Amino acid sequence: MDSFLILLAAIFTSFFGSSTPSMLNMTTLKISLETGKNGARKYNLGVSFVIVFQAFLGILIAEQIERFPEFLSTIEKVAAFIFLGLSFYFYREFKNRHKIVKQKENSKRNSFLMGIILSTLNMFAIPFYFGISASLNRFDWFNFELISMFLFAIGSAIGTFGILFFYGKYAAYIENKAKIITKNINLVLCLITGFISIYTIIKNFI
């Protein structure tokens, strides 16, 4: 497959694959509303930085995961409890959403680090990029040469940054059109992470 098409496919799949409300894009909405677009951009860069490595790792294990399915199961089990902890965290934030100015300033300074941490904890990203790269390979739209892997990882980061930028840029518009959601953004994040955790626990332990 042409290198440009690999890059384009990675951007497209990452952008639209991350377009539905999730922990990462709802958090950039929250940061944009609380600290402004500059803080959101720093958060987006932190998330996208980690995506490069997650996408690359997803590609590296794409041909091996079918022979070792227990590896993917282990990732999901660990992620289930991580998301459960995040669900409690966002619920606590929802109960204490009236923060003082100093706390907001700290949030703005640490938004890049927050992006790195939350993106790292999002263990479902690796299976996602594994699935996308494996599917593209089956249709001969992707190969496992180093340049193709590099372009796919970079394209995935660009696509993720794009959708996060969209959420952050139009945060005020979303706030005006969906005030109930944005006023209770931490509760939304709590429900999203809680649902993912419960679903994964049921899938892997019951």
Please choose, from the candidates 159, 103, 109, the residue with its C-alpha nearest in 3D space to the C-alpha of residue 129. 159
Per-residue confidence (pLDDT) for residue 100, from 0 to 100: 40
What phi, psi does 151 have (nearest 5°)? Answer: -65, -40
Please choose, from the candidates 131, 12, 142, the residue with its C-alpha nearest in 3D space to the C-alpha of residue 72. 131
Per-residue pLDDT of the chain (206 residues; tens, 9 = 90+): 578 888 999 999 889 877 766 788 888 888 888 888 888 999 999 999 999 999 998 888 776 765 666 666 676 676 677 777 777 877 776 776 544 444 444 454 588 999 999 898 886 788 788 878 877 877 777 887 889 899 999 999 999 999 999 988 887 776 666 566 656 666 777 787 788 778 777 877 76
For the question of whether the overall pTM of this predicted structure is more than 0.75, the answer is: no
Domains of the chain, residue spans: 3-73+100-183
Name the packing angle between helices 146-169 and 3-17 (round to 10°): 40
Per-residue confidence (pLDDT) for residue 175, from 0 to 100: 65
Per-residue confidence (pLDDT) for residue 58, from 0 to 100: 86
Q: Which residue has the tokens 């390979």?
A: 137
